[in-house]
Amino acid sequence: MTETSPAAAYRSVFRPGLFAGHLIWVTGGGSGIGRCVAHELAALGAHVLISGRKPDKLAAVQAEIRQDGGLCDWAAFDIRDDEAVRAQVAAVLAQHGRIHGLVNNAGGQFPAPLQMISKRGFEAVVANNLTGGFLMMREIFLQSMQPQGGGAIVNMTADFRNGMPGMAHSGAARAGMSNLTMSAGYEWAHAGVRVNAVAPGWVASSGMDSYGEEIREAIRGLKNHVPLRRLASEAEISAAIVFLLSPAAGFITGVTLQIDGGASLGNPMFPSIDHAGTERYEGFHRAADPKVLG
């Protein structure tokens, strides 16, 4: 569904008002999983700040959240730009006083065999998926979480445990983000800052529509490689992120949570048993499956 009535609302499993009075920043909030996370956090009382590079997408998500009764602001800039990150964090603090949480969701990659990836292409994907996230973490820690005492960060990685053939540049960056999460979780614990990550497998998200036909054909068969025999919903990824931001995860830090329906498990000697697929949690009232899935 793409349009909702005024009565429609995000169907979160978490209690209303969980993040009331909190400012939570979601990078890459203009589409896909970031959009879904922003909606759920706003529905739970947070004042959400979404950022990205395309103002039109950010403004559209802001309008949706405000229509649903939530609080949302946006900022368009490039997280790979060190000075821009410093300036944007300072501007947000000047307006809001404190940043309680960060969802480091922004990223991007393109499919290519390893031998065909140029230095420029490799570095661009690493900057998108690792360096930019590091800059956001560092500045929010230095300018808000350390001096003001506490906060929670959730980083976005991916299912890289068996490598990422066809997207080796992204796999390298995502694995780096998981390791960075462990280091930050250890180093920043003294300041009451928890740092965790999520590693989604295949998610029925709008990003799937960005690939060419050859990749799109492969996407249609992905569920056959998942023991649960389906793809994840955006809401299932968002729920894990919300949990890690919440007080219920207060003794969890430095962890990368795998959310892949069991796809990274098993071996060819014992193939998973075929079945009709498990039920999908559909909490996001504005969700729409990618066109590639038909």
CATH number assigned to the domain comprising residue 65: 3.40.50.720
Q: Which two tokens stand for residue 119?
A: 């230095």
In a domain, 292, yes or no: no
- Parent domain of 212: 23-260
- The tally of domains found in the chain comes to 1
In a domain, 281, yes or no: no
In a domain, 135, yes or no: yes
- The CA radius of gyration of the chain, in Å to the nearest whole number, is 18
In a domain, 57, yes or no: yes
Q: Which amino acid is at 120?
A: R
In a domain, 265, yes or no: no
pTM (whole model) above 0.75: yes
Comparing CA positions, the residue from 14, 139, 5 lying closest to residue 81 is 139
On the CB side of 242, CA atoms within 13 Å amount to: 29
Find out whether 29 and 105 touch, Cβ atoms under 8 Å: yes
What string of pLDDT tens digits covers the 294 residues of the chain?
344 444 579 999 999 999 999 999 999 999 999 999 999 999 999 999 999 999 999 999 999 999 999 999 999 999 999 999 999 999 999 999 999 999 999 988 888 999 999 999 999 999 999 999 999 999 999 999 999 999 999 999 998 988 899 899 999 999 999 999 999 999 999 999 999 999 999 999 877 877 777 777 888 888 999 999 999 999 999 999 999 999 999 999 999 999 999 999 988 889 899 999 999 999 999 998 888 887
In a domain, 166, yes or no: yes
Tokens 């809401």 appear where? 235
In a domain, 150, yes or no: yes
Instruction: Give the Cα separation of 171 and 78 in Å (integer).
Output: 21
Find out whether 263 and 159 touch, Cβ atoms under 8 Å: yes
Tokens 């404190």 appear where? 98
In a domain, 161, yes or no: yes
Tokens 């292409």 appear where? 121
